[in-house]
A and B are shown apart, each in its own frame.
Chain A
Amino acid sequence: MRILKVIGGRLLSMVPTLILATLVVFALQRLIPGDAANAIAGEYATAEQVALIRERLGLNQPFLLQYWNWVTGAFSGNLGSSLHTGEPILPLILDRLPTTALVATGALLIAVMIGVPFGVWAASNAGTRIDRFFTGITTVGIAVPNFWLGMLLVLLFATTLHLFPATGGADPIRDPLGALHSAVLPSIALGAVGAAEIGRQVRSAMIENLQADFVRTHRAKGLSQGVIVWRHALKNSSLPLATVIGLQVGTFLGSAVAIESVFGLSGIGSLVVTATNQRDYPVIQGVVFVLALLVLAATLIVDIAYRILDPRIR
């Protein structure tokens, strides 16, 4: 029962975040000199045509009213229509979401599966040359731009070795295997850099724990280093670890968006870039909203997961 209350509370606290985030993007439109209506109407439109468009888009209404209309629509599933093509936005986003989500999930999995063990290992050998080596490697890892790594991978594996497709991605729903195939390289690119980041944070979370007194007690009891590290310290670190991973979900989703142009994937990223060039604000807003929702939902899931895992929080 308590869990449900917690979930309810978290869901409730998500709402102000969502509103704030979308309000920021919505408000920014106001800062632009000129007008969306002008941008759409084009250079040769007459004043009346522009005014007409403005009326139709509801741009004459007070700001908050516009926002209210949009936000209520958004929460009920209607994200408006693209200024450019007139298509409804939500289906547009949902159509492209699986591609991006696939890459993001793949990257997250790779990053966690590599980063966490290495981070723990480095933490248990803290201060030694192994550890310094690890820190050096991970610093390089986070310094490398992930999209550049993607490029290198494409050059090597796709263009030269022809093992993976260089560009284009299959739709995960209609062609799952093809989609997986084209998601491999991007996932690796993101995952490698992400592993470095996660590794660093895991290491720093674990170091605090390993130097704690309870470790000394366990060691005095005669438990081996392995058991201490993997069972006890890890369990105690589960809270910060889960927080770290939870925070990374958003980052991976964001990176997946950015990396799409390298691999020619038609996911959310390319949608946003196109929308930017076309000044298609409703689309941008819609994307921000959906992504924010996803990130918050993911954080919520992680949060619940470790409340279940760690009895102390309950």
Chain B
Amino acid sequence: MAGTVAATPTPRVGRYGRRPAPQITYWISLAILTIVILVSVLANVIAPFDPIAQDLSDTFAAPSAAHWLGTDDLGRDVLSRMIFGTRVSMLASLLAVGIALAIGLPIGLLAGYLGGWVDTALMRVIDTLLAFPAIILAIGITATLGPSILNAMLAVGIILSPSIARLIRAQVLSVKEETYIEAARSFGARGFVRMILVHVIPNSIQPVLVQTSILMGSALIAEATLSFLGLGVQPPDPSWGSILSRAYTFNTLAPFQIIVPGVTIALCVFAFTTLGDKVQERLDPRRRR
């Protein structure tokens, strides 16, 4: 499954001593994501047709004025399906990342803050999850629970949670050593609210936020893969992965239908990953002081 845990570092000084300027890919990514979000939100308004309305008299139509992207094997307008599919894929990815955070953050926090055997035990579990080929586990979980987009995203969320847990644990471990934590303890601060909410979390959360962007990319690909395998979004609901799957099934009849969904997925993941990379570059502590 794609998606690196840590975005690639960039050295501060290029070979000739110039600092790399903020790049055009950053702006492209931002633009792509804005469009995607707008499409997701405004799907009902901008889609010309009902995505699941069939018209068996007009299957596999080529792109035309009425159907910008043509129609699929059941006569459904591909453009409308892609538009609604955007919403589905985006929401699904958000769900998966949300679950990953909901699982990973508490585990990483507890492990880092409490240390000791709690840390060892929790990290064992995390490492076990990581040792697993992610796709296999996702397939396994989804297969067992039954194919549906919710189950699939639950599985993906579980798969993605270890990287969050590791990340925040590392942050918490270093924050724990800071003098202000000891100072707080010296005047009696001890409880969960004061120590963790007020001090630990605000100082640890930044890398996690960056990672979230990259994880959205991974979740998107995961959703596409699972839907492609029939384990995610179920027909007739559209999602990029399921549209792709269907298009491929009939690729002998309309081979070019596979291009649009694939390119869309790639662009979107590219945008998420680049955004995450760039933000991490900007926040590199070496640049801060």
Whether B3 contacts A31 by the Cβ 8 Å rule is no
Closest to B259 in A: A152
Whether B133 contacts A32 by the Cβ 8 Å rule is no
Whether B270 contacts A128 by the Cβ 8 Å rule is no
Whether A143 contacts B140 by the Cβ 8 Å rule is no
Kindly state whether residue A17 has any CB partner on chain B within 8 Å.
yes
Whether B131 contacts A250 by the Cβ 8 Å rule is yes
Docked CA distance A277–B147 (Å): 8
Whether A200 contacts B4 by the Cβ 8 Å rule is yes
Whether A151 contacts B258 by the Cβ 8 Å rule is yes
* B218 → chain A closest CB, angstroms: 9
Q: CB-defined interface of A30-61 with B at 8 Å, one 1/0 digit per residue?
A: 01100000000000000000000000000000
Tell me which of A84-92, A133-141, A213-221 binds B. A133-141
* A281 → chain B closest CB, angstroms: 6
Docked CA distance A230–B178 (Å): 39
Kindly state whether residue B90 has any CB partner on chain A within 8 Å.
no
Size category of the A interface is 35 or more
Q: Which of A151, A193, A204 has the most CB of B within 10 A?
A: A151
Whether A207 contacts B11 by the Cβ 8 Å rule is yes
* A166 → chain B closest CB, angstroms: 9
Which residues B189-245 have CB closer than 8 A to chain A? Answer: 217, 221, 224-225, 228-231, 244
* A278 → chain B closest CB, angstroms: 10
Q: CB-defined interface of A300-313 with B at 8 Å, one 1/0 digit per residue?
A: 00000000000000
Q: CB-defined interface of A246-264 with B at 8 Å, one 1/0 digit per residue?
A: 0000110111011001100
Docked CA distance A155–B142 (Å): 30
What chain A residues lie within 8 Å of B221 (beta carbons)? 143, 145
Kindly state whether residue B62 has any CB partner on chain A within 8 Å.
no
Whether B135 contacts A255 by the Cβ 8 Å rule is yes
Tell me which of B48-56, B79-87, B93-101, B248-256 binds A. B248-256
Which residues B106-160 have CB closer than 8 A to chain A? Answer: 124-125, 127-128, 131-137, 139-147
- CB < 8 Å: which of B137, B146, B251, B262 contacts A288? B137
Report the number of A-B residue pairs with Cβ-Cβ less than 8 Å.
182
Docked CA distance A299–B133 (Å): 11
Kindly state whether residue A74 has any CB partner on chain B within 8 Å.
no
Kindly state whether residue A212 has any CB partner on chain B within 8 Å.
no
Whether B8 contacts A204 by the Cβ 8 Å rule is yes
Whether A142 contacts B269 by the Cβ 8 Å rule is yes
What chain B residues lie within 8 Å of A253 (beta carbons)? 133, 136
* A10 → chain B closest CB, angstroms: 12
Instruction: Indicate whether A16 sits within 8 Å of B128 (C-beta atoms), given known contacts A32-B144, A255-B135.
Output: yes
Docked CA distance A29–B125 (Å): 20
Which residues B10-37 have CB closer than 8 A to chain A? Answer: 10-11, 13-16, 20, 23, 25
Kindly state whether residue A291 has any CB partner on chain B within 8 Å.
yes
For the residues of B in contact with A, the DSSP-based class is: helix
What chain B residues lie within 8 Å of A146 (beta carbons)? 2
Closest to B231 in A: A276
* B51 → chain A closest CB, angstroms: 21
- CB < 8 Å: which of B132, B258, B268 contacts A295? B132
Kindly state whether residue B72 has any CB partner on chain A within 8 Å.
no
What chain A residues lie within 8 Å of B262 (beta carbons)? 144-145, 148, 151-152
Docked CA distance A254–B23 (Å): 34
Which residues B50-85 have CB closer than 8 A to chain A? Answer: none
What chain B residues lie within 8 Å of A127 (beta carbons)? 10-11, 13-15, 20
What chain B residues lie within 8 Å of A72 (beta carbons)? none
What chain B residues lie within 8 Å of A261 (beta carbons)? 228-229
Whether B251 contacts A159 by the Cβ 8 Å rule is yes
Known: A28-B144, A127-B11, A207-B9. 11 other contacts (CB 8 A): A17-B128, A20-B128, A142-B273, A144-B266, A145-B221, A145-B265, A151-B244, A159-B252, A276-B142, A284-B144, A292-B132
List 12 contacting pairs A-B, 8 Å CB cutoff, sorted by A: A32-B145, A127-B14, A132-B23, A142-B217, A145-B244, A203-B8, A250-B134, A251-B135, A253-B136, A254-B1, A257-B136, A275-B143
* Top-9 shortest CB links A-B: A254-B135, A254-B133, A127-B14, A143-B269, A250-B133, A276-B143, A148-B262, A143-B270, A142-B2
